[in-house]
């Protein structure tokens, strides 16, 4: 099926609203909301097609409405509800396979710190230990992905788009393409992340440079759906009473750095974001700063338990 542009998707839904008798004022308001959404996705996220928009893009857009546009909660909620209507329509017509707006809350994640689903060190330990305990299908691949999420703070699409050639086994670095901000970065790897990757790659039949680092069952990259199910599976198995997604790992990573006293500038130099106003903690950086960030990212994490798991695995 041919992909549909964001503009075409909006036009199609607006036409449906007009033909089904929706109020003029509602349609006018929705048009304004959708134009802001379209402009952000095209100019800030570099996304043209509606099928490409995922959970991370939508969460970033919500924060953009608060931090860059300066909208109040009621205004942001209205704009998000307009998007929910659009995405539900597209889902019903099977234009999109996954309706990510279903998991986008209409309250700001950092507006009330107590409501933010940050993973505590013992919770992070528990989730990271689950692949080692369950040893289910593809558990070594899952362990490597979870470590990257936890200790590099990457977005889902950045993880899934990694290629074999992006992993420098000699220098222990990972080349990351940030499609959202159209920049790239080379990140140093902690030994535990490195060992997790190496143990997963030992089981691969082939390691062609242009192969995806994390291959699915059919030889292509792991799908968005399979990725989300994997994170949810280990989160549920851990018994932690939180609605955990890949986004929680990113928030936890950033929060740990903030709590360790790293400046916004240093954190920005790790994450590669180009607009400081969106989350206040992103931009590009140098290897020296990045190594310091990696060192800090582990200070609030209980190393002993995970070290033992990794060391035991490395000996097998």
pLDDT digits (tens, 9 = 90+) for 214-255: 998 777 889 888 898 999 999 999 999 888 888 889 888 887
Q: Which pair of tokens denotes residue 159?
A: 């993880």
Q: Within 13 Å and on the Cβ side, how many CA atoms surround 191?
A: 8
The predicted pLDDT at position 149 comes to 95
The predicted pLDDT at position 233 comes to 95
The predicted pLDDT at position 206 comes to 85
pLDDT digits (tens, 9 = 90+) for 261-296: 777 767 777 776 555 554 443 333 445 556 656 666
Q: How many CB atoms lie within 10 A of CB 167?
A: 19
3-state helix vs strand vs coil in the chain, percent to 5? 60, 5, 35
Q: Is 5 helix (H, G, I), strand (E, B) or coil?
A: strand
Residue ranges in the chain modelled with pLDDT below 50: 108-116, 278-286
Spatial neighbors of 166 by CB under 8 A, at least 6 apart, are 174, 175, 176, 177, 213
The predicted pLDDT at position 184 comes to 81
- Nearest CA among 7, 4, 10, 5 for reference residue 27: 10
Sorted by where each starts, the structural domains of the chain and their CATH numbers stand as 6-106 (1.10.150.130), 121-315 (1.10.443.10)
- Nearest CA among 67, 25, 62, 29 for reference residue 45: 62
């Amino acid at each position: 099926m041919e992909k549909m542009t964001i503009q075409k998707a909006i036009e199609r839904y607006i036409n449906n609203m007009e033909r089904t008798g929706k109020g003029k004022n509602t349609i006018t308001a929705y048009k304004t909301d959708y134009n802001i959404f379209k402009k952000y996705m095209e100019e800030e996220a570099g996304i043209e097609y509606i099928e490409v928009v995922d959970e991370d893009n939508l969460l970033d857009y919500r924060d953009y409405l608060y931090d860059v546009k300066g909208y109040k909660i009621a205004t942001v909620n209205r704009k998000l509800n307009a998007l929910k209507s659009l995405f539900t329509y597209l889902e019903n017509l099977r234009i999109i396979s996954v309706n990510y707006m279903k998991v986008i809350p209409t309250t700001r994640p950092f507006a009330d710190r107590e409501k933010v689903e940050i993973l505590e060190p013992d919770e992070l330990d528990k989730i990271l230990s689950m692949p080692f305990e369950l040893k289910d299908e593809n558990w070594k691949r899952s362990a490597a992905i979870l470590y990257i999420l936890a200790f590099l703070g990457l977005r889902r699409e950045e993880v899934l788009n990694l290629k074999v050639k992006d992993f420098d086994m000699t220098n222990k670095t990972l080349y990351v393409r940030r499609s959202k901000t159209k920049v790239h970065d080379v990140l140093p790897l902690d030994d535990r992340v490195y060992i997790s990757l190496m143990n997963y790659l030992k089981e691969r039949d082939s390691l062609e440079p242009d192969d995806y680092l994390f291959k699915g069952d059919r030889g292509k990259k792991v799908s968005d759906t399979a990725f989300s199910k994997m994170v949810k599976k280990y989160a549920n198995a851990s018994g932690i009473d939180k609605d955990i997604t890949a986004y929680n790992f990113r928030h936890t990573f950033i929060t740990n750095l903030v709590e360790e006293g790293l400046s916004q500038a240093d954190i920005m130099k790790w994450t590669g974001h180009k607009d400081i106003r969106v989350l206040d903690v992103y931009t590009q950086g140098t290897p020296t700063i990045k190594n310091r960030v990696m060192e800090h990212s582990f200070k609030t994490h209980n190393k002993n338990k995970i070290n033992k798991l990794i060391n035991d695995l490395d000996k097998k």
